Amino acid sequence: MIQQTNNEKRLKVFRHAGVTDPNFLGEGAWHEAWKVVKDGYERVLRIPKEVAYGKRVTFDYNALTAEYAATKLYYQSVNQAVPGAAPDFYEFYVSPDFTYTLESFGGEPLSLHTMTIEQAIDIGVQVGAIYRRTDQIEHGVEGLGYLIWTEEKKLHGSLSGDLHTFVREEGDEHLADYKVLCEAYPEIQDDVVEHMLQVATESRNERVSVPSLVNQDASPENILLKGDCVCLIDPYPIVYAPRGMAGNFMNLYESYFVALSQTERYRKHRFDVYEDQLKGIATGFLKGYSGGDKSVIREVRGEQLLQLLETVYLHHQLLRQEELAREDIIRYGDKPAITTRLFELSHSLKQFARTCLVER
């Protein structure tokens, strides 16, 4: 009965979107994707899943509209910075009856299995250059942080205030989080880590710039290739300090994806098997983003250190919960797995802090 209902809803979406020749591409955490044809062009149609991370998704007009309007704005910004680096066609429809997005077909998914290190680096260089150039595009969004939608203000940041104050307060939170970790797990305390965290937070306070529209989710499944050219899809846009998301990218590809490769969320990607390819993408990203500017490299590495710290701290927060939610288990595993990973990541934090010290 559920399957029949889903099929009926899909047919309604196909008719409403005016598409033909649907071919199932696959599904992510939140959407299923179909390759379709509209007006003679190949498109990708995405339909929200009714169950995500083990729980039923309730309809939220403002949340869905914010998500899709932010994606549209990000695609426009990317294409203004690097034409063709994101889908150039994007529309969406949100209603209680059915919801969908329709966008240009961006290319084929990355194949880590067949990718050489040289190809990985080239892909990373392209992504890094796209990020850096998009940082410089004026987005016109009021506010900071995650994007929300109201009928009155339309798309805007969830936080008010200036970026300088936000970054300074966030830096204080990073240092406080490290203190909490050291009190909870004395073996984590390390003088080099403490010093480099101070350096990183002081550096970001000194170089606060205009907030950019940046992407928090550039996982391998969201990077496509059309020929040899990269196309970024399915972003998670936020308004933030630009170097922060460059550091986030580096943390994801050099630490996070491999560390969480055995979780239910990432197991199918076998990131632990393709660690060299992921690190190749990171190497290229830093090269493409920095353009060889050593001061930019240091800034990105500092942000990467802070991102790695917060990954460790997140694991501590999960362990403090009396019972893990099903979504947390899918993303991070059970408590024994989280405990093991916390100490593995804290060791990585110590190693990376020494790398940052040497690079300075």
The CATH number of the domain holding residue 120 is: 3.90.1200
Same domain, 213 and 276: yes
Same domain, 287 and 139: yes
Helix (H) / strand (E) containing 42 = strand 41-48
Report the C-alpha gap between 198 and 175 in whole angstroms: 8
Domain that residue 118 falls in: 109-359
Same domain, 88 and 171: no
The confidence score (pLDDT) of residue 115 equals: 97
Contact 104, 88 (CB under 8 A): yes
Q: Is the pLDDT of residue 141 over 70?
A: yes
Q: At which of 104, 136, 158 does a domain end?
A: 104
Q: Show the tokens assigned to 328.
A: 């947390």
Same domain, 146 and 30: no
Contact 54, 72 (CB under 8 A): no
The confidence score (pLDDT) of residue 67 equals: 97
Same domain, 144 and 260: yes
Q: Write out pLDDT tens, residues 182-240.
A: 999 999 999 999 999 999 999 888 887 789 999 998 899 999 999 999 999 999 999 99
Total structural domains within the chain: 2
Q: Show the tokens assigned to 22.
A: 């649907």
The confidence score (pLDDT) of residue 2 equals: 42
CATH code, 99:
3.30.200.20
**pLDDT averaged over the chain?**
94
Same domain, 83 and 192: no
Same domain, 38 and 160: no
Banded model confidence at residue 127, pLDDT cuts 50, 70, 90 = very high
Q: At which of 104, 139, 168 does a domain end?
A: 104
**Checking DSSP bridges between strand 55-56 and strand 144-150, what pairing results, if any?**
unpaired
Mean pLDDT for the stretch of residues 320-333: 96
Q: Is the pLDDT of residue 7 over 60?
A: yes
Same domain, 222 and 245: yes
Same domain, 58 and 126: no
Report the C-alpha gap between 185 and 292 in whole angstroms: 38
Same domain, 197 and 117: yes
Q: Write out pLDDT tens, residues 41-94.
A: 999 999 999 888 888 999 999 999 999 999 999 999 999 999 999 999 999 999
Q: Show the tokens assigned to 7.
A: 């099929």
Same domain, 61 and 21: yes
Same domain, 90 and 121: no
